[in-house]
Amino acid sequence: MAGGVAAAVAAVSEARLWQRLMEMAEIGGFIGDGGHHGVNRPCLTPLDREARRLLISWARRAGAAVSVDPAANLFLRLEGEDPSLAPVLTGSHMDTQPQGGRFDGIYGVLAGLEAIEAIAAAGVRPRRAIEVVAWTNEEGGRFAPGCTGSMSFTGFKPMSAFDDLVDRDGIRYADALAEQLAAEADLPRRPLGYTPHAYLEAHIEQGPRLEAEGKEIGVVTGIQGSRWFTVSVEGRTDHAGTTPLRLRRDSVQDMLRAIGALNTLMHDPADVLRFTVGSIRVEPGTSNSVARKAEFTIDFRHPDKEVLLARGDAIAGVVQASMTSCTATVEERFRALPVEFGERVPGVVAAAAEAQGLTSLRLPSGAFHDAQFLVPLCPTGMLFIPCRGGVSHHPSEYAGPDACAKGARVLAEALLALANG
């Protein structure tokens, strides 16, 4: 390790990173299943803003320059020797699932801050600037789909494509975004998007492999593809006590037929395919009314593009064929094809882990991440740290202080290698 790199890595503080993770977990924190400390921090809310304020206060103390773009992506910049060069970008997200944990997303942001703080404290000046980003709405828990901040930044979709998304209270994304930007009007504003020199995101694995195989660092090779659909089944509401079954147009019954048929379509003996109906809404939603409308979501993922396209394209036909008395509409809300990271950034991560004497494993990501939208723009990669039992999107999600610090040290070294390249 070159002297500056060793000093920067040594300056990563396990205690500071852990204390910040725990302090952030208080913002939206709740005690959930099994007494575990979960976090519910939806994007573009007062809680989100409180967390961002805290992050900003830490970043400024660390000497980083803070700015925000029109998609409310928040940037913390450690200046490089040559400010005219494209920066290296790192980061993740601060929003959570409603039953989220203390590490998903926020770990990558705080590990990024820890890395630049350590680099600055060691008196190391990278050739290129390093920017830490907190992407807006990665989870899609409030406004579906997720990754709207990174999709806007990269031009994967125009920002306006998300204006009319609505949350469960009928609030439009464009209005929530405007409110956030107004509340942060004191922050320097930057234009939307640029081409980074490289992008590297740190994250908990959210799966069981690293822990099971006893490895300290995951070198992520790529991300499987995902497609999100919303299916609406329209029937007619009627009296539950008086209406004969043959006269009904019961949206719940046709929905159940559709879900059953979709399970058959998505059956995969190899258990590689992921098919989830995670949300169902029924109207009017009373015990003694036949449901007029039933709406459900589909989250479908596969690492093979052909399977993702063929099975996903078959969904609408299967739903239509399942209708007996109702009508159905199938809307695709989100599509991200599988991505491969290639060798540039994963190679840097693997080399940094090795230089630090840490064990590593190459593995793909089953979860989606903002990183996948950076792939067309610049060399991209991710590093994973193990999490207990592979559990995530649950209050019991856990990665220990030691694992968090190891990831931040590898991140610091890899970011320096990229920023000096």
Binding site for ligand GLV (CB under 6 A): 139, 146, 367-368
Q: 188 with 296: CB under 8 angstroms?
A: no
Q: Pick the closer one to ligand GLV by CB: 24 or 64.
A: 24
Q: Pick the closer one to Mn ion by CB: 165 or 416.
A: 165
Q: Pick the closer one to ligand GLV by CB: 58 or 368.
A: 368
Closest CA to 62 of 1, 109, 5: 109
Shortest separation between residue 368's beta carbon and ligand GLV, angstroms: 4
Q: Which of residues 329-368 bind Mn ion (CB under 5 A)?
A: 367
Closest CA to 45 of 23, 79, 70, 72: 72
Is residue 250 close enough to count as binding Mn ion by CB under 5 A? no
Q: Pick the closer one to Mn ion by CB: 43 or 350.
A: 43
Q: Pick the closer one to ligand GLV by CB: 128 or 203.
A: 203
Q: Pick the closer one to ligand GLV by CB: 146 or 407.
A: 146
Shortest separation between residue 180's beta carbon and Mn ion, angstroms: 19
Is residue 117 close enough to count as binding Mn ion by CB under 5 A? no
Q: Which of residues 46-105 bind Mn ion (CB under 5 A)?
A: 104-105
Three-state DSSP class for residue 114: helix
Beta strands in 6-138 (DSSP E): 29-31, 37-39, 65-68, 74-78, 88-93, 130-135
Closest CA to 200 of 368, 382, 409: 382
**What six digits make up the tokens of 265?**
């379509």
CB proximity list for 408: less than 8 A, separation 6 or greater: 12, 17, 111, 114, 115, 118, 202
Q: Pick the closer one to ligand GLV by CB: 143 or 368.
A: 368
Shortest separation between residue 78's beta carbon and ligand GLV, angstroms: 27
Is residue 149 close enough to count as binding Mn ion by CB under 5 A? no
Shortest separation between residue 89's beta carbon and ligand GLV, angstroms: 19
Q: 393 with 101: CB under 8 angstroms?
A: yes
CA distance 279 to 415: 39
CA distance 392 to 111: 18
Shortest separation between residue 356's beta carbon and Mn ion, angstroms: 24
CA distance 390 to 43: 24
> Residues touching Mn ion: how many (CB under 5 A)?
3
Distance of alpha carbon 225 from the chain centroid: 14
Shortest separation between residue 280's beta carbon and Mn ion, angstroms: 20
Q: How many residues does the chain have?
A: 421
The residues that touch Mn ion, with contacts defined as CB under 5 A, are 104-105, 367
